C-alpha cells in the first residue's frame, strides 16, 4: 500500500508534471485548438508540454520526448508533418485535431526556431496531400 501511495505522489508531483503530462490522445485537444492562429500558439498549447518550451525535449518516468532543438530530422518538412498527422512511437496523432493550416504553421515554426534554420516552408496544400483519403471501399 505504501508503494502505491508513493507512486501516486510522484506521478502527481508538480515537478514531474511537464514530463508526465503528455497528450493522452489527439481527441483530448480537439476543439481546443480551433482558435490557435499561428505556429507559435499551436506549439505552446499542443507541443511544449512534452517537447518543453525550449524545444529540448525531456526524459523521465519511463518516457522520452525527443528534442526538436537542432534536430536534423526536421530538414525535410514532410517528416515532422507526417509525425504530427499520424503520430510516432509514444506521440499521439494530431491529424484529427489540427487543420492543414495549423499543421503547416507548427511545422514551419519548429523548423525555424530552437536553433533550426530551415527556410523552405510547408504549405497547407502539402499537408492536405499527406492526409489519408478513405474511400467507401476502404471502410
In angstroms, the CA 112 to CA 1 distance is 49
**Mean pLDDT throughout 104-131?**
96
Q: Residue 48: which of 114, 93, 99 has the closest Cα? A: 114
Whether 3 has a pLDDT exceeding 90, the answer reads no
pLDDT of residue 18: 36
pLDDT of residue 105: 98
The overall average pLDDT reported for the chain is: 80
Show the domains of the chain with their CATH numbers: 13-55+64-131 (1.10.760.10)
Grid coordinates given for 127: 499537408
- Residues with Cβ within 8 Å of 49's Cβ and at least 6 positions away in sequence, in order, are 18, 21, 22, 23
Q: Residue 77: which of 45, 125, 34 has the closest Cα? A: 125
- 106-109 contacts, C-beta under 8 A, 24 or more apart: 106/39, 106/42, 106/43, 106/46, 106/47, 107/39, 107/77, 107/80, 107/81, 108/39, 108/77, 109/38, 109/39, 109/40, 109/42, 109/43
Q: What is the pLDDT of residues 5-48, one digit of tens each?
A: 333 333 333 333 333 334 444 455 545 556 898 999 999 999 99
Q: What is the pLDDT of residues 55-97, one digit of tens each?
A: 999 998 888 999 999 999 999 999 999 999 999 988 999 999 9
∠ CA 94-11-106, rounded to 5°: 25
- Give buried/exposed letters for 105-122 (b at 16+ CB in 10 A, else e): bbbbbbbebbebebeeeb
pLDDT of residue 7: 34
pLDDT of residue 117: 96
pLDDT confidence bin for 137, thresholds 50/70/90? low
Amino acid at each position: 500500500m505504501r508503494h502505491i501511495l508513493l507512486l501516486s505522489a510522484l506521478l502527481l508531483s508538480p515537478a514531474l508534471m511537464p514530463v508526465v503530462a503528455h497528450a493522452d490522445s489527439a481527441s483530448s485537444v480537439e476543439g481546443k485548438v480551433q482558435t490557435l492562429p499561428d505556429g507559435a500558439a499551436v506549439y505552446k498549447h499542443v507541443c511544449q508540454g512534452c517537447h518543453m518550451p525550449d524545444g529540448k525535449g525531456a526524459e523521465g518516468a519511463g518516457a522520452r520526448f525527443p528534442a526538436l532543438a537542432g534536430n536534423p530530422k526536421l530538414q525535410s518538412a514532410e517528416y515532422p508533418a507526417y509525425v504530427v498527422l499520424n503520430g510516432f512511437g509514444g506521440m499521439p496523432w494530431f491529424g484529427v485535431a489540427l487543420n492543414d493550416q495549423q499543421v503547416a504553421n507548427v511545422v514551419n515554426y519548429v523548423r525555424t526556431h530552437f536553433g533550426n534554420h530551415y527556410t523552405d516552408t510547408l504549405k497547407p496544400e502539402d499537408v492536405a496531400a499527406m492526409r489519408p483519403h478513405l474511400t467507401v471501399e476502404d471502410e
